[in-house]
Chains A and B, each alone.
Chain A
Amino acid sequence: MPAIIAAAAVLILTLLPVAAPWLQFVLTLAIAKGFAALGVAVLLRAGLISIGHAMFFAASAYAVAFLARAGVNDLGLLLILSVLGGALVGAVAGSFLVRYRAIFFAMLNLAVSMVFYALCAKLYGVTGGTDGMPVPVPAVFGIALGEPAFKSVLFYLSLGLMVLVGLAVQRYLNSPLGHALSAVHTNEIRLEYLGIPVWAVLLIAYVISAALAGLGGAIAGFAIGRVVPDFAFWTASGHLVLIAVLGGIGGVPGAFIGALFLELLHSAAVTVTDSWNLIVGMTLIIVIMFMPQGVYGLFARKEATSL
């Protein structure tokens, strides 16, 4: 995607909540889901589909709630610690999940995430069960803010992180580690014969993808003000895969484009009909049939033809 288009898109996103304040929440949530979908897209590069990444999304959101309950009251610290928590859960789960491929990988991710979901829902005394846990408004650099001001700070922080983390992930994908990750999809034997440990390549990718999902979950927790077990439900994981495929896995912006597209479509559809799922579903079918490289593919193609 040409830098100028990306810069223009970020500028429009920056200005949108000024023109339509109700969009601020929708966009914050879309960016949060975009981070998680980017995590899924990272693994898709290796041909691995995770139908369990909502677990990391939820893990970091719960981490924020637990840390807040324990007295941590700084936005930056909460974000860093919760993302590290998500990455740690990713390291533990990834240490055995990366041994599997194809349907086994997808199903095992699903199974582990559903165990996590059940624990969140059933351990009422710890997690609040299906009522979930509140995520209070934290201080920002020691300054206590009212909720509306905090939500604005959260939106612009999310936007900034989208650019910075997006560039970092792009850098990772362009590195030997990132190329090795794509190579896992095409030829694991050759990778081993190059002396590159496939399990390490996949574990690093898995931890990065879990951290990304965790970052999304933490932002969503702050935006919604509560974390519930449904954050980890399997349909939420499926939703992340859908966003990644819809946006396109050809580049980092794809995940965010997919998330923004889906959230805005959803917001528009609910205003038209109660059967908004029908509109969303039909749109998805059209995108998948006529844009096999996702919405991002439109920009990528333009870039290719401009050469």
Chain B
Amino acid sequence: MTRPILEAKGLHVAFNGVKAADDVSIAIHDGEFLAIIGPNGSGKTTLLNICTGYIRPKSGSVQLDGHDITHLSPRAIARRGVARAFQIPQLFSAQRVIDNMMLALAATDGLWSAVQPLETARRRDEARALLDLVGLAGDADRISSTLPEGHRKLLDIAVALALKPRLLLLDEPTSGVSALERFPLMEALMSALRQRRITALFVEHDMDVVARYASRVLVWNAGNIMAEGRPDEVFSNAQVRQRVVGVA
């Protein structure tokens, strides 16, 4: 197995006495597509919040490439190559779709670019290519608040990809996306991840998506890791089938 990009050790987090993470340790390795599944409210999103600096754990540590990032801000972690797409899309709703993309692309450019025009031919082409990848090429000039929820979700993912991350954290990437668009989106996403050598961790409720695309699955339940392994191993676990997948 390759070295871990991200490693969390002994995480403890509780909200009003309810444990969201209780001595949890996980590691994600280069090239993996790690899925985290589990019941609602079990602490999956909390893990993403900790890994991106949005929440500080009560104890434990998070390391990125062996460096401690536990107490860094989301901004500092983003600048180290960790991007995130949210369960509820986080967009600049008053701006055009393509402006959302170009601002993300500009964020990865140098300081001088901050005073040059946002819209350059290079950024426009890159933005359109990413929008095309997620199927939003036709919406480039729309104000992002006017997009349907599924398309807002796709834009949120495209914005995260625009940051050219090494590690991408996706919170329920297919929720809100129509059943017809779900697998084409995942195919495009997987293709982009492979082409750009992006490692990914994703929280997901659609077990078909998990079974088809995850290289490893981690089952989260009541702040603990209940099971871990390849999708076929995890889904054959009776306890997992009963408590998480819902098939006894």
Contact = CB atoms under 8 A, between A and B. Distances in A.
Given A186-B94, A194-B104, A171 B163 contact: no
A179 B102 CA distance: 10
Contact of A176 (B84, B93, B106, B159): B106
A186 B95 contact: yes
Contacts of A195: 75-76, 78-79, 107-108, 163
A186 B114 contact: no
Interface string B91-120: 111110001001110111100011111110
Contacts of B119: 174
The winner among A172, A179, A180, A197 for most chain B CB atoms within 10 A is A179
A256 to B, nearest CB: 22
Contact of B116 (A175, A180, A185): A175
Nearest to A185: B94
Question: Which bracket fits the contact residues of A?
Answer: 20 to 34
The winner among A171, A192, A197 for most chain B CB atoms within 10 A is A192
B73 interface: yes
Nearest to B117: A174
A195 B116 CA distance: 18
Contacts of A193: 52, 74-75, 78, 83-84, 90
B115 A192 contact: no
Interface residues of B, number: 32
Interface in A159-187: 171-172, 174-180, 182-183, 185-187
A127 B90 CA distance: 50
A192 B91 contact: no
Interface string B110-141: 00011111110000000000000000000000
Contacts of B113: 176
Contact of B92 (A171, A172, A190, A197): A190
A50 to B, nearest CB: 20
Given A171-B117, A175-B114, A195-B75, A190 B91 contact: yes
Contacts of B118: 174-176, 178-179
A182 B83 contact: no
A194 B79 CA distance: 8
Contacts of A197: 75
Contacts of B76: 195
A186 B107 contact: no
A187 B91 contact: yes
A189 interface: yes
Contacts of B117: 171, 174-175
Contacts of B52: 193
A197 B75 CA distance: 7
A192 B74 contact: yes
Contact of B90 (A171, A189, A196): A189
A177 B99 CA distance: 12
Interface in A231-289: none
A172 B84 CA distance: 28
8 contacts: A171-B117, A176-B106, A182-B94, A182-B95, A187-B91, A193-B84, A194-B163, A197-B75
Interface of A: 171-172, 174-180, 182-183, 185-187, 189-190, 192-197
Given A183-B92, A194-B107, 16 more contacts: A174-B117, A179-B99, A179-B103, A182-B94, A186-B93, A186-B94, A187-B91, A190-B91, A192-B73, A192-B78, A193-B74, A195-B79, A195-B107, A195-B108, A195-B163, A196-B75
